[in-house]
Amino acid sequence: MAALAVVTLTSTSCGGIGQASTVRQASVRSEDPVATVAPTWIRGLRVVRDNGKEESCAWSTTYPQIPSAQPLTDALRRLVEERRAAFLQWARESGCGEQAGKAPELNMGFGFVAASGDVIGVRFTVYQLGGAGDGKSTTSLWYDGVKGQVVPALSLIDAASMNAFEELTGKALEGIDRQAWLADRSARTLDDLAFTKDGDLVVTFDEGEVAAGAVGQAQAVLPRAEVEPLLSDFGRRARAQVMRPADRMALPGYTADGSVDCRQVKCVALTFDDGPSPYTPRLLQYLARYRARATFFVVGQNVIARPGVVRGAVRAGHEVGNHSWSHRDLTGLSARGVRADLARTDQAIRKATGVTPTLVRPPYGAFDRVVRRQSPHPLVLWSVDTLDWLYRNSGHVTRAAVGPARPGSIILFHDIRPTTVAAIPHVLKRLAKRGFHFVTVSELYGGHPPALAIHGPSPRHP
């Protein structure tokens, strides 16, 4: 039988989240054995940071927004808000008095303990000085992408094996405080279970939960071979993603190639017409911050003027569509004229980017039977018009985009307006908060836009 190891994690003194830990039995320094992973495969991930002061109590909280796992995002937000509210209430009622010579504070940070395939694990580390919950604690929430449900840490263990699991954990605690473990079952939360890279299961206790009087958090490391028969199906899937992560997410909303499936999650297509312009590079920076993809309907003669900007947009994953050579109303041209105008523009885009566009947006949204017939690509109109060329005011543009946005909306902007570009960070922030993914027009239709696109599909269960 492999040896069971117990370590305690100590928190650093100055209110930061402690990294240092000691192995009590061997009295050498060691890292938290829980594996953390980079959420590389999560699309549209946002981190919400907040901080402030109540009386003289400082607080800061951080949690992730994961659009493809909305129930998880909701649970994480609730967890943060409840903890913060309790701390602030205590701060108000107590006047935020000093605790052992230190100013009270609350810090909540998080890391991913799994983020691939159909499993996400998020682990919060809370450092609180003052009030109920004083000390350092951790909580892990798991997300079962197959069921689309947030599950508590203990769901890694098979329900029928719960007694065996408790026994194994108690054995691991022998060196620390087995008596406390056996004596007060009701006091344990068992709300932080996660894996090491080698597949051992780590049970982390809040400060003072076991090993009363010891400084730091106790952790029981249950060896892989012994915990294996006790894991639930979900626990096995979670462990597999920690040990051998898939190279993509497999949640509802993600397709096989890792792009977003807008029939399963909320999407909007932001579209920018008439550029590229001197303001387009800044717009690309804003979009990159939100990992948002957009569609640029460019004018051929502007492409000739700024080929590098269009190339940059394509490299960043955006779609570039054809908005005619010189922005003439195509319904005023002959059939041959329409064909020539669009072909010339396609060619300029191909020359600049190496990619031939597959979409046309007719200038002014004006088209007739001739334009439809002569266009080599589907025509894309829009379902939300910001009228940003008329109201050159960022606040107005933001409201005009965000208010009417629905799953499947195609939103019309013009990146030749600085007021429009200045509005985009606000548009992205507010739509992201509502759980929208930002996709290209082609992506909105799963790669197959109809001959006339106005509004994209919306998920059956948004």
Residue 448 annotated among the catalytic residues of the structure: no
Q: Which is nearer to Ni ion, 64 or 362 (CB)?
A: 362
Residue 206 annotated among the catalytic residues of the structure: no
Q: How far apart are CB 323 and Ni ion at their closest, in Å?
A: 6
Q: Which is nearer to Ni ion, 209 or 273 (CB)?
A: 273
Cβ neighbour number for residue 384 with a 10 Å cutoff: 21
Q: How far apart are CB 327 and Ni ion at their closest, in Å?
A: 6
Owner of token pair 């002959």: 334
Q: How far apart are CB 363 and Ni ion at their closest, in Å?
A: 5
Q: Which is nearer to Ni ion, 220 or 410 (CB)?
A: 410
Q: Which is nearer to Ni ion, 180 or 299 (CB)?
A: 299
HEC secondary structure over the chain: CCCCEEEEECCCCCCCCCCEEEECCCCEEEECCCCCECCCCCCCCEEEEEEEEECCEEEEEEEEECHHHHHHHHHHHHHHHHHHHHHHHHHHHHCCCCECCECCEEEEEEEEEEEEECEEEEEEEEEEECCCCCEEEEEEEEEECCCCEEEEHHHHECHHHHHHHHHHHHHHCCCCCHHHHHHCHHHCCCCCEEECCCCCEEEECCCCCCCCCCCCEEEEEECHHHHHHHECHHHHHHHHHHHCCCCCECCCCECCCCCECCCCCCEEEEEEECCCCCCHHHHHHHHHHCCCCEEEEECHHHHHHCHHHHHHHHHCCCEEEECCCCCCCHHHCCHHHHHHHHHHHHHHHHHHHCCCCCCECCHHHCCCHHHHHHCCCCEECCCEECCCCCCCCHHHHHHHHHCCCCCCEEEEEECCCHHHHHHHHHHHHHHHHCCCEECCHHHHCCCCCCCEECCCCCCCCC
Q: 82 is written with which tokens?
A: 């409840």
Residue nearest to Ni ion as judged by C-beta position: 273
Q: Which is nearer to Ni ion, 141 or 298 (CB)?
A: 298
Given the DSSP bridges, would you call strands 105-116 and 28-31 parallel, antiparallel or unpaired? unpaired
Q: How far apart are CB 361 and Ni ion at their closest, in Å?
A: 7
* Burial class of residue 433 (count of CB atoms within 10 Å of its CB; 0-12, 13-18, 19+): middle
Per the residue annotation, which of 118, 177, 191, 273 is the catalytic one? 273
Q: How far apart are CB 120 and Ni ion at their closest, in Å?
A: 41
Per the residue annotation, which of 318, 323, 414, 437 is the catalytic one? 414
Rounded Cα gap, residues 51 and 72, in angstroms: 22
What is the torsion angle, in degrees rounded to the nearest 10, for the CA atoms of residue 75, residue 79, residue 82 and residue 84?
-140
Q: Which is nearer to Ni ion, 191 or 388 (CB)?
A: 388
Q: Which is nearer to Ni ion, 97 or 278 (CB)?
A: 278
Binding residues for Ni ion, rule: CB under 5 A, are 273-274, 363
Q: How far apart are CB 372 and Ni ion at their closest, in Å?
A: 18
Q: Which is nearer to Ni ion, 273 or 341 (CB)?
A: 273
**Max Cα distance, the chain (Å):** 90
Of the chain, the end-to-end C-alpha distance in Å amounts to 49
Q: How far apart are CB 386 and Ni ion at their closest, in Å?
A: 13
Q: How far apart are CB 439 and Ni ion at their closest, in Å?
A: 21
Q: How far apart are CB 299 and Ni ion at their closest, in Å?
A: 7
* Axis-axis angle for helices 280-289, 418-433 (nearest 10): 10
Q: Which is nearer to Ni ion, 288 or 304 (CB)?
A: 304
Catalytic residues: 273, 414
